[in-house]
Chain A
Amino acid sequence: MDPSRRDHATRPLQVLVVDADRRVRQSLCGLIDLAEGMEIAGSAADAAGALAGLAQGGVDVVLLDPRLPGFDAGKALVGAIARDWPDTRIVALYWPEDPGVSDGARVTVLPSAVQPDSLVDLLRISATAAVGKGAPPLS
């Protein structure tokens, strides 16, 4: 249990951005860096990079586009985070319309074409929601 999780007021939210698209990744990082109370903990273009970033520790929320290179890499990454970093929230920019993906419940899915300010707000809300209860997916 990471004690920093209860200390949002004093410590900015640590966000890991995982997106295969370079442009989206860079612009997300730029925006989040400017947002109040959150910081970029790192960014990755694939699952391996994401796991490396998580391993550094202190990541509160992973902002993820699961369309990563490799077979079912996004889904596998979600499974790994849930298993190894149970306190880390996952916010998805996109979620495949696959009813078989049960991990969807652990993931907060942002509405498509979300506006930048809403994105930052939703990121903050989902990250502060009680872990384990599972905030209802936003869609």
Chain B
Amino acid sequence: MDQQPGDASLPAPTSPLAPGDATSGSAREVAPLPHDSLRHAVHEAARLLRADGAILYLLDAETRMLRWAYDSGLTETSDRGWMRELTMPIGSGMFGAALAQRSIRITNDYLEDPSFAHLWMADQVARGAPIRSMVVAPLIAGDEIIGAMGVYIGRPGALGEQDASVVRALADHAAASLANARLIEALARSREELARQAEQERALREISSRIALLGQTDAILQRVVDESRRLLGADGAHLCLLEGDRRYLVPQVLAGGMDQDTAVWLRERRFPLGGGMNGLAALQGAAVRTEDYRVDARIPHEADDQATADRMGLGAMAVAPLRTPREGIVGTLAISYREPRAIPQASIDLLQGMADQAAIALSNARLYEALQRSESRYRYLLTNAPDIVFSIDTEGRLTFLSDAVESITGWRAAELLGRTWREVVDHEASPDLRDAFEAMRRLPFPSASQRFALRHRDGTRIPADMRGVAIVADGAFAGAHGIVRDLREQVRLEDDLKHQATELATAGERARLARELHDSVTQALFSMTLTTRSVELLVDRDPEGAKRMLGELRSLERDALAEMRALIFELRPGHLEELGLEQALRMHATAVQGRTGLPIAVACAPVERAPLAVEDALYRIAQEAIHNVVKHAGAHSVDVRLDQEAGALRLRVADDGAGFDPAAVPAGRMGLTSMRSRAEGVGGRLVIDSTPGAGTRLKVAVPVTPA
């Protein structure tokens, strides 16, 4: 048991018990006063044995020497002063002997007694007192030696066994009550410990609750440092942060008696990692302590260190690292005492607890900073993004709009806030948007995506794409937010692409026409060559037959010329514009029929001239369709029809050929894709109806507004 605090609380032996002593602690109000019982024992022993004096020495735990504590009946003449100064080791003198043997001792003549090791000083005191007969009883509680009590008489042989029993009884009683008192005191201390722990816990809790309040990092760190100093009874405390690429620690937060100059000076110190106590704790990632910084062998003790230690008043010191899960060690928390002393493990644990709190606060602060940075980045994106970021309430009123809205719609965000989305939408071009919103309002779907059109301030239509997410609160629709992208550029690009595809297709068609022209001319010439030879062979033997053959030759010539003219004409840009769709279709059909012998019937209802783009698209589609029939269908006849109904120009190409399964035709084959994109390019629709063995019907309808 640590006797130090007990010693410190001993009342001055000679003075009567101070009343304050009796009420100084809650535990003492109920427990017998320990030192009062010692004093009582001394007095009683002297009184009961009618002795000249009684004296009680207590064992000093630190020096292991017996030191005077109480006496009774001593006078100045009996060398009281000497007796009170006397110290004895266990084993020497009669007191020491009693303790060494843990038994009561009795002597009839102290100075002459050979049964114990005499101490010169003690003998002097005994001679002067004088002490002749004496009983000494050890005060032992359990295993612990408390001290010894002696009762003496100036005559030899004056004390017997009975006296010894009395002294022993008194001593045992005193020892027991002292032991009890110490137990009670220990109990009280443990209660205090509990209270202190509660206090520590409270402090930690308070700090951790403050950590939740972001942005108060400095205040939290200051509190951690202040509380560490207070709770650990330290003279100073400081917190360092690891800086300079984790090479050194810089004192940031300080507490404890330190003048302004020292504080400023300290904040400019750099403690290298692994150097001082702070550096050691940071390097090892564990708390370190020293009973005396100034003589600790682990410290390099360079001139600078010593100067720091002197100026900060470092004696005993403990340092705990600030550990964070994300960054590892970020700093240290230190407490210091001016005087050397032992720092118990409990204090280290508490310090580490405080350091952990500080680390969490720092970690949070850094996270918060990162968050703020990313938030400011987000704001930057929000204000600089080309898309409109919006949010609407349950009624569809705009509650937020990013600045992009102005460059896209011509309206400033402030002008539109509070109005509903319906006011900035081109409804004619956005038939599905209202339904999408109503559906989301009824049953908050997590997200919606719509292609629609905005209405610009000047009334123009802006193709756009909206991606929205419903805000759901308590299961109910609470609004939505999302982004709107301006598709003008995309639509323009798509148009360009379509145009290019058309041009490419046109180039492909020209190449095909040129090839057909070549083939056709070749075949016509070949036919004419053959027929001419036939005429030659017939001239002599069958003049009539030769004549008939010449007629065929002329017909071949005529057909060939017509076909070539048609093909060359088709190759010429602008032929369609000149002829009109109907005539162009007829001419093409005639050319193909002449070449292939496949009957192609063209039936045209009276139609108005449509825009050239529409006529061109229909003409190309018809060409491709007829080409397909010739090439793939093996048909006996083809039917081409053109008419107009309900504002739409309609083309139909039907054959009685082999037919095919449209679903089984690979993309890009038979020009189906290019035909379809041509139709869609002018706002029309193309349908192919075909089944194997049942011919093919291709239909195109293009809405036209009379020019």
Query: Residues of A with Cβ closer than 8 Å to B?
Result: 20-24, 26-28, 30-31, 34, 45-48, 69-71, 73, 113, 115-117, 119
Task: Report the nearest B residue to A117, measured CB to CB.
Answer: B533
| Chain B residues whose C-beta falls within 8 Å of the C-beta of A26 in the assembled complex | 527, 552
Task: Report the nearest A residue to B549, measured CB to CB.
Answer: A30
Contact between chains at B538 and A21 (CB < 8 Å): no
Task: Report the nearest A residue to B536, measured CB to CB.
Answer: A116
A10 to B349, CA, bound (A): 126
**Interface stretch of the complex, out of B154-162, B449-457, B627-635:** B627-635
Contact between chains at B632 and A71 (CB < 8 Å): yes
A-B contact pairs, 21 of them (CB 8 A): A21-B595, A21-B597, A23-B556, A27-B552, A28-B530, A30-B530, A30-B534, A30-B552, A31-B531, A31-B537, A34-B537, A46-B634, A69-B632, A69-B635, A69-B657, A70-B632, A70-B633, A70-B634, A73-B634, A116-B530, A119-B530
Interface centre among A22, A70, A117, A119 (most CB of B within 10 A): A22
What would 19 more interface pairs be, CB under 8 Å, given A22-B597, A27-B530, A30-B534? A21-B527, A21-B595, A23-B560, A24-B526, A26-B552, A27-B527, A27-B556, A30-B552, A34-B534, A34-B537, A45-B596, A48-B634, A70-B633, A73-B634, A115-B533, A116-B529, A116-B530, A116-B533, A116-B534
A20 to B524, CA, bound (A): 13
Known: A23-B524, A23-B527. A70 touches B538 (CB 8 A): no
Query: Residues of B with Cβ closer than 8 Å to A?
Result: 523-524, 526-534, 537-538, 549, 552, 556, 559-560, 595-597, 630-635, 657-658
B557 to chain A, nearest CB (A): 10
Q: Per DSSP, are chain B's interface residues mostly helix, strand or loop, or mixed?
A: helix
Q: Which of A20, A34, A48, A119 contacts B538 (CB 8 A)?
A: A34
A112 to B309, CA, bound (A): 110
Task: Report the nearest A residue to B669, measured CB to CB.
Answer: A71
A129 to B634, CA, bound (A): 33
| Chain B residues whose C-beta falls within 8 Å of the C-beta of A34 in the assembled complex | 534, 537-538
Contact between chains at A21 and B634 (CB < 8 Å): no
| Chain A residues whose C-beta falls within 8 Å of the C-beta of B526 in the assembled complex | 24, 27, 113
| Chain A residues whose C-beta falls within 8 Å of the C-beta of B595 in the assembled complex | 21-23
Contact between chains at A69 and B634 (CB < 8 Å): yes
Contact between chains at A23 and B559 (CB < 8 Å): yes
Task: Report the nearest B residue to A30, measured CB to CB.
Answer: B534
Contact between chains at A24 and B632 (CB < 8 Å): no
A46 to B537, CA, bound (A): 29
Q: Which of B530, B559, B597 contacts A31 (CB 8 A)?
A: B530
A41 to chain B, nearest CB (A): 18
| Chain A residues whose C-beta falls within 8 Å of the C-beta of B657 in the assembled complex | 69
A71 to B630, CA, bound (A): 11
A113 to B526, CA, bound (A): 7
| Chain A residues whose C-beta falls within 8 Å of the C-beta of B524 in the assembled complex | 23
| Chain B residues whose C-beta falls within 8 Å of the C-beta of A31 in the assembled complex | 530-531, 533-534, 537
A30 to B550, CA, bound (A): 12
B660 to chain A, nearest CB (A): 9
A138 to B538, CA, bound (A): 28
Interface centre among B528, B530, B560 (most CB of A within 10 A): B530
Known: A26-B552, A70-B634, A71-B632. A20 touches B533 (CB 8 A): no
B586 to chain A, nearest CB (A): 19
A119 to B531, CA, bound (A): 13
A88 to B256, CA, bound (A): 119
A20 to B529, CA, bound (A): 18
A6 to chain B, nearest CB (A): 28
A113 to chain B, nearest CB (A): 8
B629 to chain A, nearest CB (A): 8
A22 to B555, CA, bound (A): 12
A23 to B559, CA, bound (A): 9
| Chain A residues whose C-beta falls within 8 Å of the C-beta of B537 in the assembled complex | 31, 34
B616 to chain A, nearest CB (A): 27
A23 to B596, CA, bound (A): 8
A53 to B528, CA, bound (A): 25
In order of increasing CB-CB distance, the 9 nearest A-B pairs are A22-B597, A116-B533, A27-B530, A23-B527, A27-B527, A69-B634, A27-B531, A30-B534, A34-B537
| Chain A residues whose C-beta falls within 8 Å of the C-beta of B528 in the assembled complex | 27
A31 to B556, CA, bound (A): 15
A117 to B537, CA, bound (A): 10
Contact between chains at A24 and B552 (CB < 8 Å): no
Contact between chains at B534 and A27 (CB < 8 Å): yes
| Chain B residues whose C-beta falls within 8 Å of the C-beta of A119 in the assembled complex | 530
A96 to chain B, nearest CB (A): 13
A91 to chain B, nearest CB (A): 15
A119 to chain B, nearest CB (A): 8
A46 to B631, CA, bound (A): 11
B593 to chain A, nearest CB (A): 9
Q: Which of B531, B597, B635 contacts A30 (CB 8 A)?
A: B531
